[in-house]
């Protein structure tokens, strides 16, 4: 039975490579009904689903292959799907697992570099360097090293990497175009990476960041309310300041770590995702209320009333995030 399965998997791979992932999916599903415990078939299905623009189903198939013991490929596919869904930290974790399980497979290190992307340029650069070390005669690792070097603002390294990639694969038009951009002496700074439209992945990334900040504010504010009842100690000023800095720092660090396409001006953000702006505004109200209470406590106030609007605003911001993410899942 192994030979027919191998033949089907080969045909599915050829269909996917030829730009016919739907045909590959139709070919693979009956095979998986008969052979539900074949991890290679699940991986091949996940690859076809990803190319067909179905990252959620791709992730499901990849997870099935992982549970069946597939060593590395399934983790790489899961990383691709998670990245497409805007779950960048999970994507990096999954790709890192693939690289840990199969350190001699350059594709795992390439997947890890792409998962880190411009959000973690130094980590992406380290993974891309490792991919080149593992497979110096493959063009793709050099191409990804060039992109990672641009993310890290290492223009000379990017030029060398793209040159090596083009030498190994002269027909690669993307690499040739990247070299052309580097040759433009008018460029004031390196290209931060592929520029993509403000789409689903960028919206999800913003929602997840807002949810994290609202969650920290709600949890920290609730603990302050408990600790400050019935009469708060002035020592709580330091804890409140730490909470303010933690929430603001989390938001700023997360925002700067997002792709540039996710950092729109406020007017554009309001026109595209007004519900997110409402949630962010509620978070701002919560932070302002917490700041007012902190200052009042530092000057001798004895109540905890200003904490209540901070908690309410944080809870409402979290609820808005839940609605926003639920809408994204339904799209």
pLDDT recorded at residue 2 = 46
pLDDT digits (tens, 9 = 90+) for 300-329: 777 777 788 888 988 999 899 888 888 766
Which string of DSSP letters, residue by residue, matches 92-149?
A: HHHHHHHHHH-TT-HHHHHHHHHHHGGGSHHHHHHHHHHHHHH-TT-HHHHHHHHHHH
Mean pLDDT (whole number) for 265-274:
80
Closest among 139, 128, 197 to 120, alpha carbons compared:
128
Closest among 40, 38, 113 to 74, alpha carbons compared:
40
Question: Would you kindly state where each structural domain of the chain is located, as residue ranges?
Answer: 2-183, 200-330
pLDDT recorded at residue 148 = 93
pLDDT recorded at residue 188 = 45
pLDDT recorded at residue 329 = 67
User: CATH number of 2-183: 1.10.760.10, 3.40.1190.20, 1.25.40.10, 3.90.1150.10?
Assistant: 1.25.40.10
pLDDT digits (tens, 9 = 90+) for 170-218: 998 889 888 888 876 334 444 444 454 566 667 777 888 889 999 899 9
Mean pLDDT (whole number) for 26-50:
93
pLDDT recorded at residue 205 = 78
Confirm whether pTM is higher than 0.85: no
Query: Would you tell me how many other CB atoms lie within 10 Å of the CB of residue 264?
Result: 16
Q: Is the pLDDT of residue 129 over 60?
A: yes
pLDDT digits (tens, 9 = 90+) for 131-163: 999 999 999 999 999 999 999 888 889 999 999
pLDDT recorded at residue 240 = 87
Which string of DSSP letters, residue by residue, matches 235-291?
A: THHHHHHHHHHHHHHHHHHHHHHS-GGG---HHHHHHH-HHHHHHHHHHHHHHHHHH
d(CA 247, CA 132): 39
Average pLDDT, the chain: 86
């Amino acid at each position: 039975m192994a030979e027919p399965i191998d033949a089907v998997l080969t045909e599915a791979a050829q269909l996917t490579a030829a730009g016919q992932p739907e045909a590959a999916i139709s070919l693979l599903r009956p095979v998986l009904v008969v052979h539900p415990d074949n991890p290679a078939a699940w991986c091949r299905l996940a690859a076809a689903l990803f190319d067909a623009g179905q990252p959620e189903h791709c992730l499901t198939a990849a997870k099935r292959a992982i549970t069946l013991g597939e060593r590395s490929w399934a983790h790489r596919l899961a990383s691709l799907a998670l990245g497409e869904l805007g779950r960048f930290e999970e994507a990096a974790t999954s790709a890192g697992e693939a690289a840990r399980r199969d350190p001699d497979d350059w594709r795992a290190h390439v997947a890890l570099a792409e998962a880190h992307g411009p959000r973690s340029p130094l980590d992406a650069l380290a993974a891309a360097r490792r991919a080149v070390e593992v497979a110096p005669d493959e063009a793709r690792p050099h191409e990804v090293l060039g992109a990672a070097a641009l993310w890290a603002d290492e223009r000379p390294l990017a030029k060398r990497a793209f040159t090596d990639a083009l030498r190994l694969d002269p027909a690669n038009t993307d690499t040739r175009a990247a070299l052309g951009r580097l040759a433009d002496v008018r460029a004031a700074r390196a290209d931060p990476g592929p520029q993509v439209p403000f789409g689903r992945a960028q919206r999800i990334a913003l929602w997840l960041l807002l949810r994290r900040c609202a969650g920290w504010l709600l949890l920290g504010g609730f603990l302050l309310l408990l600790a400050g009842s019935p009469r708060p100690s002035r020592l709580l000023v330091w804890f409140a300041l730490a909470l303010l800095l933690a929430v603001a720092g989390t938001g700023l660090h997360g925002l700067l770590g997002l792709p540039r396409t996710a950092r729109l001006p406020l007017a554009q953000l309001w026109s595209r995702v007004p519900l997110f702006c409402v949630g962010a505004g509620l978070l701002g109200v919560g932070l302002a209320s917490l700041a007012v209470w902190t200052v009042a406590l530092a000057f001798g106030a004895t109540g905890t009333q200003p904490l209540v609007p901070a908690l309410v605003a944080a809870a409402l911001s979290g609820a808005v995030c839940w609605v926003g993410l639920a809408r994204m899942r339904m799209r």
